[in-house]
Amino acid sequence: MFVGYCFNPGFVSLCKDIIKFTDEELQHQQEIWRKYTESTVPDFYEMFPETIKEFKKQGGIVTVISHSEKSAIERDYSIHCGFIPDATFGWELPEHQRKPHPYPIKKILKHFNLQETEVLMLDDLKPGLEIARSCNVDFAAAGWSHIIPEIKEQMKRDSKYYLETVEQFNQLILCK
């Protein structure tokens, strides 16, 4: 049920509109999440670090838009990939500048002087797809994380690329 709500309407709407957290409760849940992410380094999917490292080596720009905080994201990429992303947009930003709002992609386009056609957003849930659509950038669904059939089917239908495996992502983004 949690993943379903994170898919639609999204984590922020789950907290505000469904659970109806107060501002204080939202802050408290973020403090709990921060303590957890400070104490735990999550594993990356198999082959993901190698793919991202090779993409970066070939001149790619790696950015992250996440519900986690920038410090945790940068730590995790440093540990697993050996570098920190070129730009990171985490939960510490004001609400209108974080996922699911389009601000991060607009900022990435401007900061790196990129055209919409030069960007690919990879995400596993609908809010990521909506950000990509709102900014007219291509979207690849990270289908390797989907276990709920309804989510899988909608992402297959609505995404430019639906990737069942990290290997498919590797083949999509790497110039070989």
pLDDT of residue 176: 55
Contact predicate 175/168, CB 8 Å: no
pTM: 0.86
Number of domains within the chain: 1
Residue 82 placed within a domain: yes
Cα 40 to Cα 48: distance, rounded to the nearest angstrom: 19
Cα 122 to Cα 119: distance, rounded to the nearest angstrom: 10
The domain that contains 87 carries what CATH number?
A: 3.40.50.1000
pLDDT of residue 146: 75
Residue 81 placed within a domain: yes
Residue 131 placed within a domain: yes
Name the DSSP letter for residue 42: P
Residue 140 placed within a domain: yes
Each residue's pLDDT tens digit, 84-126? 999 999 989 998 999 889 999 999 999 999 999 999 999 998 8
Residue 38 placed within a domain: no
Residue 122 placed within a domain: yes
pLDDT category, 18, cuts 50, 70, 90? confident
Q: Single out the residue of 84, 92, 71, 161 nearest to residue 120, CA to CA.
A: 161
pLDDT of residue 157: 96
Residue 62 placed within a domain: yes
- Residue 166: give the domain boundaries: 44-173
User: How far is Cα of residue 151 from the mean position of the Cα atoms in its chain?
Assistant: 16
Cα 163 to Cα 158: distance, rounded to the nearest angstrom: 12
Q: Single out the residue of 85, 60, 61 nearest to residue 75, CA to CA.
A: 85
* Three-class secondary structure of residue 55 per DSSP: helix
Residue 163 placed within a domain: yes
Name the DSSP letter for residue 96: G
**pLDDT at position 14 over 80:** no
